[in-house]
Amino acid sequence: EVQLVESGGDLVQPGGSLRLSCAGSGFIFSTFWMNWVRQTPGRGLEWVASIKQDGSETSYVDSVKGRFTISRDNAKNSLSLQMNNLRADDTAVYYCVREGIVVAAFDYWGQGTLVTVSS
């Protein structure tokens, strides 16, 4: 059974940093693109970042470029998101999401971890 388990969400002050982690199991982690997608009540679902199977390519939504860094450790089946200089509008539930190999879609989602940026 495919499982994605996020951790690291917390309350942080504006300008602060946070590192999210995701542990994958039940599939060959190293063969899939992985993503972070966030959800806010006001803005719905928003793709945040993606990383290629071997980590050689990454992409980010414009609003987080230069502040967030996605990375992976295939030996540990783990995905991370380092978030720096956090802003109030980064407040969201962050999901670790697998991108299907055959299908161009996000086929498995973790349960999500809540990040709240507030003073």
Which residues contribute to the site for other proteins (CB under 8 A)?
Answer: 39, 44-47, 59, 61-62, 95, 100, 103-112
| Neighbour-count burial for 55-65, b at 16+ CB within 10 Å, e otherwise | eeeeebeeebe
Nearer Cβ to other proteins, position 5 or 17? 5
Nearer Cβ to other proteins, position 33 or 74? 33
| Closest alpha carbon to 79 in 34, 17, 28 | 34
Nearer Cβ to other proteins, position 75 or 102? 102
Q: What is the nearest approach in angstroms of other proteins to the Cβ of residue 17?
A: 23
Q: What is the nearest approach in angstroms of other proteins to the Cβ of residue 7?
A: 15
The alpha carbon of residue 2 and the mean position of all alpha carbons in its chain are separated, in whole angstroms, by: 17
